[in-house]
Amino acid sequence: MYIQKSKQKGFTLIELIVSLGIFGIIMLLVTSTYFMLIAASTDVRTSTGAINNVTSAFNAMADNIRTGSCKSGQCLAGSTFTFTDSTGNDITYSSCTINSDHQICESINGGASIAMTYTPVLIKKLNFNAYKYSYSSATNSINVKQTFTIINVSGDYILPHSNQPARFYMETAVTPRRIHIQ
């Protein structure tokens, strides 16, 4: 008696095991790349948020100084800066510690300091360089005092997936538009 071989086509067990192994390796690579991209995206969002936070505080300080004025004993160089804003309030900008983090803070009329920046931003240095200029008019005997201030701020922000802090440095110059006439 003659037995006919079956002509069914299919995969052998070895072919299936090899193809599953290759598929598993490819999926492992794709998954690890995906998680690395998620971590990088989180770091970029944190970095963008930190820089936007410092820039917002920095611009608010510059705008308030620009629309304010300097009275006697105000607008001095140092790590704090006091001036009179456009509504007549005495504003002081300084570096302060809130929950063990160094931040840029604002105080109105000597009141409590309120943070203008927040974690993950850590302020290392806040400095105001103030230069005073006086102009005198020979005809009216008017003495005009003008202040030119350079604001420097530097610090770090912590990225969630990095061991190293990212550093930043910002600088701007501002002059109050309201001049002090004596």
pLDDT tens per residue across span 9-41 = 788 899 999 999 999 999 999 999 999 999 889
The tens place of each residue's pLDDT in the chain, 182 residues long, gives 666 666 677 888 999 999 999 999 999 999 999 999 998 898 889 889 989 999 999 999 999 999 988 888 888 889 999 999 989 999 999 999 888 889 999 999 999 999 999 888 999 999 999 888 777 666 666 666 778 899 999 999 888 887 778 899 999 999 887 655 54
Q: Which of 25, 114, 116, 130 is nearest to 75 (CA)?
A: 130
Report which DSSP code applies to 69.
B
Rounded to two decimals, the pTM is 0.75
> C-alpha distances in angstroms, 128 versus 91, 134, 159, 172?
14, 19, 28, 10
- Asked if 149 contacts 75 with a C-beta cutoff of 8 angstroms, the reply is yes
Provide the strand spans (E) within the chain.
Answer: 81-84, 90-98, 101-108, 114-115, 121-136, 143-157, 166-174, 180-181
> Residue 119: what are its φ and ψ, rounded to 5°?
-60, 135
Structure tokens at 51: 């820089």
